Structure 1
Amino acid sequence: MDPRYVFVGGLHRSGTTLMADCLEAHPAVRGLPPSLAPEGEGVFFQGAIPHDALAGVPGEWAEDPAMHMVEGGPWDRPEVAGRLRADWDRWYPKGGSWRVEKSPVNLLRARLYQQLLPASQFVFVVRHPVASARATAKWSARGEAALLRHWAHAHSVWAGDVPRLHNWMVVRLEDLCADPRRELARLFAFLRLDPVPPPRAVRADPNADYLGDGTPVDELARSFGYGPDGIAGPSEWRGRHWFRDVREAVE
């Protein structure tokens, strides 16, 4: 049986690389070589869907309508699916039951990939919007207000997509850092794999340098359990799976 794909998506500086590293630590999971493209992102290892230097710009990309890709759109064609498989096959190590493909743009591309690569699963990593904006400022010339609008827009579009996805889960970066074993137990249950330890130590509070001034958050951020200065409660967004035992482990 060919390996299945688990796609990791989320805005830049939200923890997608850490998530991919955690997945690749499992012996049943294969990843792309990080030394050949930025952060080993799969969009750079394929030519089926154009991804030039103006695509995927940190703090900006989700505002481009062309970055939202869904079933029935211009890329939903058998030849695109075939080119994706062929291009990625050249780079993934052999073996394993899962291939992890991590690219920030996967946040708004899941519906298309679900159509092109059936039985794929999706892991979305989210981070407090203010911390995300302030961390992204190191990579962007945009101001904080614009970066916060980008966070809100990206996750608003995403929230409209997930009801159409069969198999998805959300991991807050803050939870992954505070209790990695618990979150990795959820993650590997989602893939029906036995859990493995985190591959490296992580800072328990990834937002310590960015929060504390009480900047308010919007309703969408609150639905993820965020308050002005960090985690304020549980997230309304946990996940879904077409098998009950997996769904219960993720939720």
Structure 2
Amino acid sequence: MTSAYRSKIAPLIPEFAVPLARSTYYFARSVSTEARARLMPVSAADDFSPVFIVGCGRSGTTLLGELIARHPRVKFICEPYDLWAAVHPATDFLQIYRHGEHHCMLDSRAVTQDTRVRFQRVMSPRCGLTLVEKSPVNALRLGFLDAIAPSARFVHIVRDGVDVAQSIERKASGARRMAFGPPLNNWWGVSGAKWTALVRDGREAGYYPDEVWHLTTDEQRGAYEWLVSVREINAWQSRLDPRLLELRLEDLVSEPRKQLKSVVDWLGLSSGDERWLDRAIELVRPISNDYKTELILPDQMRADFNELQESYHFKGRATSDE
């Protein structure tokens, strides 16, 4: 994974060799996870009930995952894109581990018995632990996840869409060099693969097919990703009830003990010893927010965006360029 590469490998090699080491690292992980997906034995005990943390990227999914990860009965996996690529190649929306057909949005049609077996092989936790996985793009794949793990539970964390869009803009301003091929953008993947897939999948799903072409900045594209992600989760809310829990990032940061305890209670992970909870909430810091409170969007996107913002009591709003 990218974070593991940065923390464990990149500091140990000369700068000129980093692109080659990075490409080699991704290739090695691809080979390793594919072998696990094909060869690891599956037993009846591997039929488990995972927990998926979902929400548009830059909404606090990592913070929530790291807080829950402090629980002694949790196995937390953060953005295991190599594992997902081994489960189904089309999940590699960044085009790091597999090349070819790729999607941001996937539904039950992409799930076969082989897909389920591969998922169990690479994701199953040790006996007695609950798997908690967080990949923000999974907000766009609820049908896929529900078919691959029918007893899965989902925790949706949502943040002010204007803040998210502008945070995505900052993230997308950087890229990493690769030894072979074009750079890897920090948000949109290789050669903008994520945006290409998001536009194609979003249009096919009916999300603003005529307006998406007018989005020219990373801020606007980030707003589109937030809008589609939140609308997808809302569309699934009744079907997943009572397996879907929702909270706001602002509430998690302002009341971390109350909110985190509510989440783990809902997951059935309560315990008498709450020392882990004391350690977890030490990770919480105030939200650093020097963003603007407005962004420009086309007419229908703007109307839907602002309606969602109001429903969550967020202050940011989209405006027109007129």
The equivalent position to 1:222 in structure 2, one of 294, 310, 321, is 310
Q: Give yes or no for the alignment of 1:9 onto 2:54.
A: yes
Q: What is aligned with 1:176?
A: 252
Q: What is aligned with 1:234?
A: none
Q: What is aligned with 1:52?
A: 92
Report % sequence identity: 27
Q: Secondary structure at the match of 2:50?
A: strand
Mean alpha-carbon deviation: is it higher for 17-26 or for 144-153? 144-153
Q: CA 1:45–1:199 in structure 2 vs 1: closer, same or farther (change >3 Å)?
A: farther
Deviation per residue, 1:126-166 (Å, 9 max, x gap)? 11011111111122253323322332122122221222214
Q: What TM-score, normalized by structure 1, do the two folds share?
A: 0.73
8 Å contact kept, 1:21–1:199: no
Q: What is aligned with 1:193?
A: 269
List gaps (5 residues or longer) in structure 2.
Answer: 1-44, 97-101, 174-216, 296-301, 318-322
Distance 2:236 2:64 in 1: 21
Distance 2:95 2:315 in 1: 31
Q: CA 1:219–1:86 in structure 2 vs 1: closer, same or farther (change >3 Å)?
A: same
Q: What is aligned with 2:104?
A: 67
Number of aligned residues = 208
* Counterpart residue identity of residue 158, structure 1: I
8 Å contact kept, 1:8–1:104: yes
Q: What is aligned with 2:141?
A: 109
* Counterpart residue identity of residue 52, structure 1: D
- Superposed counterparts of 1:142-181, under 5 Å: 142-166=217-241, 167-181=243-257
- Greater radius of gyration (CA): 2
* Counterpart residue identity of residue 53, structure 2: V
Mean alpha-carbon deviation: is it higher for 2-11 or for 215-224? 215-224
Q: CA 1:214–1:48 in structure 2 vs 1: closer, same or farther (change >3 Å)?
A: closer
Q: Secondary structure at the match of 2:238?
A: helix
Q: CA 1:225–1:192 in structure 2 vs 1: closer, same or farther (change >3 Å)?
A: same
Q: Secondary structure at the match of 2:87?
A: coil
8 Å contact kept, 1:13–1:136: yes
Q: CA 1:28–1:148 in structure 2 vs 1: closer, same or farther (change >3 Å)?
A: same
Q: Secondary structure at the match of 2:94?
A: coil
Distance 1:41 1:223 in 2: 29
Distance 1:210 1:96 in 2: 43
Deviation per residue, 1:55-112 (Å, 9 max, x gap)? 69xxxxxxxx9422223x1x221111111111224xx4x2433101110111122222
Q: CA 1:180–1:130 in structure 2 vs 1: closer, same or farther (change >3 Å)?
A: same
* Counterpart residue identity of residue 118, structure 2: R
Q: What TM-score, normalized by structure 2, do the two folds share?
A: 0.58
Q: What is aligned with 1:97?
A: 129
Mean alpha-carbon deviation: is it higher for 156-165 or for 214-223? 214-223
Q: CA 1:83–1:180 in structure 2 vs 1: closer, same or farther (change >3 Å)?
A: same
